[in-house]
Structure 1
Amino acid sequence: MKALVYDGVETLNYRDMPDPVAGSDTHLIKIEAVGICGSDMHAYLGHDARRPAPLILGHEAAGTIVGGVQNGRRVTVNPLVSCGTCAACKAGRENICPDRQIISMPPREGAFAQYVAMPDSNLVTVPDAIPMDKAALAEPLAVSWHTARLALEALHPSMERRALVIGGGAIGLAAALALKAMGARDVTIAEPNDARRAFLTETCGQATMANASGSFETVIDAVGYGATRASASACVMPGGVIAHVGLGDSAEGFDVRYATLQEVTFIGTYTYTMQDFRDTAQAIFDGKLGPLDWTEKRALSDGFQAFKDLRTGKVAAPKIILDPWA
């Protein structure tokens, strides 16, 4: 099969790789759409020791089962594989399973490829009316759905549901969409990139600002740098909630003193539970997250250029979707 392979820092090559093989408990999936995630960019830049070269990256995927009794079944892929037997898994918190694995991280190759093998329990059937490029958004949308759910559940019932989302990439935009779907009254996205901010406003219909400011009951940091943690601390109201989903760096920024004195709840979030993934997929199918028309489509063979364009800030759309067969 053809795949886009991470071969070293800022080096991606489109080349032949061995076909994955379906086992007794897995399906072979023909990938028809796969998104570029921020974690893929971290690996591409050499900032993620968990993803050493050579490796097929990519985990935001949708496609069709090939072979077997379920041949032709259209699916979106939950890339997080958990053990199913530990206390976390039994509690429905598969995302913190100590033995969890994710495709695009050894020992599992990713989905920037024409095929991938996945367990049946990680697949959600996609209705015929839903395009694969939208079905592939289930993974990044589920990250944000999980974050928004935890943030709103932690918010004191006496407080209003006004929210600030820091970062207007796919996770930030998806967080804004999830917050609104869950009943948040007023949601604003802070995004410094002029082209992306204009895209969010004009194409996605979102309220935006260039730099985080103001006072909000809920703040979601979808970037995860020291500077954005400082902004989150400055913008959250006393008694409010900060949900931190970005993994930009480990620098200081969160104001622990203010959070302690003002009883600010800080939540670190990672991926999603299987139920969150299913709920997100259903929300996509039901149209609760909007038209999802904010992606840019490119061929997988042009993936290296897509990464370079993302690296230099030339992409206004929050998400690039790659087609392995174009």
Structure 2
Amino acid sequence: MMKALLYTGPHTFEYTDVPDPVCEPEDVLIRVRAVGICGSDVHGATGRTGRRLPPLIMGHEAAGVIERVGANVTGLRAGQRVCFDSTVYCNRCEACRTRRFNRCDKRQVLGVSTPQFKRHGAMAERVAVPSWIVFAIPDEMSFVKAALLEPVSIGVHAANRGNIPEGGTVLVIGAGTIGLCVLAAARLKGAGRIIVADIDEFRLETARRLGADVTVNAGTLVSCTGKMPVLRKDETPSPHETPLSHETPVLRETASTLAEAVLDLTEGRGVHTAF
């Protein structure tokens, strides 16, 4: 038996004893050292999403130490520090063979329960997962940081698919965990100007601390803070330019939508990529 945080009903969790997970021949048994609380867990705990049917052990953003490897596992060993993907796939079907793991015939998600499947997650002392979703982490990386690699990977994947031109203008709608990861990844991909919109001032302040050039409160469309580099209408982005900027961009009084606000901030040019 092991200890786990068990979701038993809307807004209700119990810290209780549950059976140890079974480590199949192709699995890895991991002692969890850090686990994140996803926004989907928070919403799921209300009982309204249909994707956290109790009883369930939630948690799909985690890291830990391998306790045991299955008989058919190679390349991983007990004592290794690891993180793992949140998507469990069979690694055998046609979708998996063509690396479209999200289309796997037997796809499951850790810490998620639907009418079709239940897969206990990592809010427990131990979790067993297929070896092919496990990745070693550097010794110098903390388990807390490693647990965040799952949401960070989403931001990186979005930025990689976003076709962001060097020095281009990017809009990120929503400054939650994923939006902030997109913000950071877009900057690393070469974005020159990043606008972040949200309706929560705490999130917008966090976005500014993480490098957003301008933040817009989309709930009021009157709060706009930051430095917005200004380009002439005939100018193209360049990583070497030193554009003028003004401290507090001003929105038109007639701007009634986020789209209009973004056009104001970009002098009618719009953005190159939006997330």
**Cα drift, residue 87 of structure 1:** 3.6
1:143-164 deviation line (CA, Å, top 9, x unaligned): 2222222222xx6x6x962111
Equivalent residue pairs, number? 224
Identify which of 98, 111, 126 aligns with 1:104. Answer: 111
2-structure distance, mates of 1:231, 1:59? 33
Q: Please, what is the CA RMSD of the aligned residues?
A: 2.7
Aligned residue in 2 for 1:268? none
Structure 2 matches for 1:80-159, cutoff 5 A?
80-106=87-113, 107-152=118-163
**Cα drift, residue 24 of structure 1:** 0.7
Aligned residue in 2 for 1:188? 195
Which secondary structure does the structure 1 equivalent of 2:119 belong to? coil
1-structure distance, mates of 2:87, 2:260? 31
Does the 8 Å CA contact 2:169/2:273 hold for their aligned counterparts?
no
1-structure distance, mates of 2:196, 2:16? 38
* Matching residue's letter, 1:164: L
1:69-105 deviation line (CA, Å, top 9, x unaligned): 7111000111211122334323322123343111112
* Matching residue's letter, 2:169: R
Structure 2 matches for 1:41-52, cutoff 5 A?
41-52=42-53
Does the 8 Å CA contact 1:197/1:208 hold for their aligned counterparts?
no
Which secondary structure does the structure 1 equivalent of 2:82 belong to? strand
**Cα drift, residue 231 of structure 1:** 4.2
Aligned residue in 1 for 2:176? 169
Which secondary structure does the structure 2 equivalent of 1:2 belong to? strand
Does the 8 Å CA contact 1:232/1:242 hold for their aligned counterparts?
no
Query: Which blocks of at least 5 consecutive residues in structure 2 are unaligned?
Result: 70-75, 229-256, 264-268
1-structure distance, mates of 2:125, 2:90? 26
Cα distance, 1:174–1:3 mapped onto 2, change above 3 Å: same
**Cα drift, residue 125 of structure 1:** 0.4
With normalisation by structure 1, the TM-score equals 0.62
2-structure distance, mates of 1:97, 1:103? 15
| 2:212 corresponds to 1:211 | no
Query: Which blocks of at least 5 consecutive residues in structure 1 are unaligned?
Result: 216-229, 244-326
Cα distance, 1:234–1:151 mapped onto 2, change above 3 Å: farther
1-structure distance, mates of 2:42, 2:91? 30
1:28-65 deviation line (CA, Å, top 9, x unaligned): 10111111111111211222212211111110010000
Does the 8 Å CA contact 2:167/2:193 hold for their aligned counterparts?
no
* Matching residue's letter, 1:174: C
* Matching residue's letter, 1:126: I
Aligned residue in 2 for 1:73? 80
Cα distance, 1:60–1:234 mapped onto 2, change above 3 Å: same
| 2:30 corresponds to 1:19 | no
2-structure distance, mates of 1:133, 1:233? 40
With normalisation by structure 2, the TM-score equals 0.72
Does the 8 Å CA contact 2:86/2:110 hold for their aligned counterparts?
yes
**Cα drift, residue 170 of structure 1:** 0.8
Cα distance, 1:119–1:200 mapped onto 2, change above 3 Å: same
2-structure distance, mates of 1:39, 1:53? 15
Which secondary structure does the structure 2 equivalent of 1:168 belong to? coil
Higher relative contact order (CA 8 A, sep 6+): 1
* Matching residue's letter, 2:21: P
| 2:11 corresponds to 1:10 | yes
Amino-acid identity (%): 38
1-structure distance, mates of 2:272, 2:5? 43
Cα distance, 1:47–1:150 mapped onto 2, change above 3 Å: farther
1-structure distance, mates of 2:129, 2:208? 37
1-structure distance, mates of 2:14, 2:138? 33
**Cα drift, residue 241 of structure 1:** 4.8
Does the 8 Å CA contact 1:3/1:112 hold for their aligned counterparts?
yes
Does the 8 Å CA contact 1:191/1:208 hold for their aligned counterparts?
no
**Cα drift, residue 235 of structure 1:** 4.6
**Cα drift, residue 199 of structure 1:** 3.3
Does the 8 Å CA contact 2:64/2:83 hold for their aligned counterparts?
yes
Considering only CA atoms, is the larger Rg found in Structure 1 or Structure 2? 2
**Cα drift, residue 239 of structure 1:** 9.0
Does the 8 Å CA contact 1:193/1:210 hold for their aligned counterparts?
no
